[in-house]
Copies of this chain bind each other. A is one copy, B any other.
């Protein structure tokens, strides 16, 4: 694919514009990126945190552990294909899996708003339990806080997780190599559309369900089979495009992907066209990309496709050999464009 230079002039992101937190600071795009780069990392930063991975890999007594956390503030709490409880389990399980770890233990931190129906809490807790059982993890510690009515929104869930690494690979964006194949585990955009549709009361011909699912099985299958995986990333806030841009920036390598092989379900594509969304930037909760040597791509696809959650896996592109940290997309009609991080926010509170 031809190399394309990024635009020579770009406006700086408006982080200092208002001096106030904006919704887009939580959107997974450029504003959030800047908030982390300019405010959070300089203050809290250390070498482990700065690896910009989905989780931290810690070495304790010679054992390698993965440790990660995410808070969930999705609205509404329940949507086709999932709910905040399922998200809170699978999201953290998936971050551990993206470190190459077997997810084992979770914590649960609940922030409840005064007036939340106990029935709603019960449904969320039951979903957390079901999802944890399906993912093979246990809740081992937790905390509950209540805030007064009007100062929360029903229920926020934080989960942190611990997983165990049983291989010697270093799996991180900085380990992506020129020539690596990029595998995508399935169709993209469903979670974003599923949440947005129920939030806005939109009805499509079919009900679009979130892809919310645990991803450890196909990842561990690759690792157990000895594939030299360089990087893994699940495609949450900001979607496929943002994940690839972040990886390209961290690895300082170019990435080229081919739109025609990126799986997108027809109903998702149609909804995106009506609503003006780009499916490449929509959140997913059960999709990931794998970077590994191109020579093993076909075999790795076979492994992924053997698992239901990644049965639709495809090779969508490759890592280039030059140091321009950009992502280019060859469109269905053969043109090529640079994918840029969104400054704003397609869908707030998507997870």
Bound: A144/B36 CA distance, A: 8
The answer to whether B21 touches A116 (Cβ under 8 A) is yes
Assess whether B25 is in contact with A144, with CB atoms less than 8 Å apart.
yes
Interface of chain A residues 95 through 121 with chain B (CB within 8 A): 104-105, 107-119, 121
Encode contact with B along A24-50: 1 for CB under 8 Å, 0 otherwise. 111100001001100110011010110
Specify the chain B residue showing the minimal Cβ separation from A15: B118
Stretch from A55-63, A215-223, A327-335 forming part of the interface with B: A55-63
Please tell me which stretch of A123-131, A238-246, A314-322 contacts chain B, meaning at least 4 of its Cβ atoms lie within 8 angstroms of it.
A123-131
A250 contacts B by Cβ under 8 Å: no
A3-32 near B? 1/0 per residue, CB < 8 Å: 000000000000110011111111100001
Q: Nearest-CB distance from A20 to chain B (Å)?
A: 5
Q: Name 12 interchain pairs, CB-CB below 8 A, sorted by A.
A: A20-B118, A40-B125, A49-B142, A56-B140, A56-B141, A68-B141, A69-B107, A69-B143, A69-B160, A71-B143, A109-B158, A147-B153
Q: How far is the CA of A147 from the CA of B350 in the complex (A)?
A: 10
Q: Which 3 A-B pairs have the closest CB atoms?
A: A26-B146, A160-B160, A69-B107
**Chain A interfacial residues counted at CB < 8 A:** 79
Instruction: Pick from B20, B114, B115: contact of A117, CB below 8 A.
Output: B20
Q: Within the oligomer, what is the number of copies of this chain?
A: 2
Given the interface pairs A109-B70, A128-B44, the reply to whether A121 lies near B39 with Cβ below 8 Å is: yes
Q: A58-B162, A67-B105, A160-B69 in contact; A49/B148 too (CB < 8 A)?
A: no
A71 (CB) vs chain B CBs: closest residue: B109
Contact B44 A142 (CB under 8 A): yes
With a cutoff of 8 Å between Cβ atoms, the chain B residues found around residue A117 in the complex are 19-21
Candidates B67, B72, B116; contact of A162 at CB < 8 Å: B67
Is there an interface contact between A19 and B60, defined as CB atoms closer than 8 Å?
no
Cα(A15)–Cα(B148), bound, Å: 17
User: In the complex, what's the smallest C-beta–C-beta distance from A126 to chain B, in angstroms?
Assistant: 6
Knowing that A36-B144, A67-B105, A68-B141 are A-B contacts, what are 9 other residue pairs whose CB atoms are under 8 Å apart, sorted by A's residue number? A23-B148, A25-B146, A35-B144, A67-B162, A71-B145, A71-B158, A109-B158, A109-B160, A152-B152
Task: Enumerate chain B residues within 8 angstroms of A295, measured Cβ to Cβ.
Answer: none
Q: Is A206 an interface residue (CB 8 A)?
A: no
Task: Determine if A201 is an interface residue (Cβ-Cβ < 8 Å).
Answer: no
A144 to B158 alpha-carbon distance, docked (Å): 11
A126–B43 CB distance below 8 A: yes
Of residues A26, A139, A143, which shows the largest number of chain B Cβ atoms within 10 Å of its Cβ? A143
- Nearest residue (CB) in B for A66 is B141
Contacts of A291 in B (CB 8 A): none
Q: Which of B23, B58, B122, B349 contacts A43 (CB 8 A)?
A: B122
Residue of B nearest to A32 (CB): B144
- Alpha-carbon separation in the docked complex, A144 to B139 (Å): 22
Given A44-B129, A49-B141, A129-B43, also A148-B348 (CB < 8 A): yes
Closest Cβ–Cβ distance, residue A140 to chain B (whole Å): 4
A164 within 8 A of B: yes
In the docked arrangement, what's the CA distance between A70 and B142, Å? 7
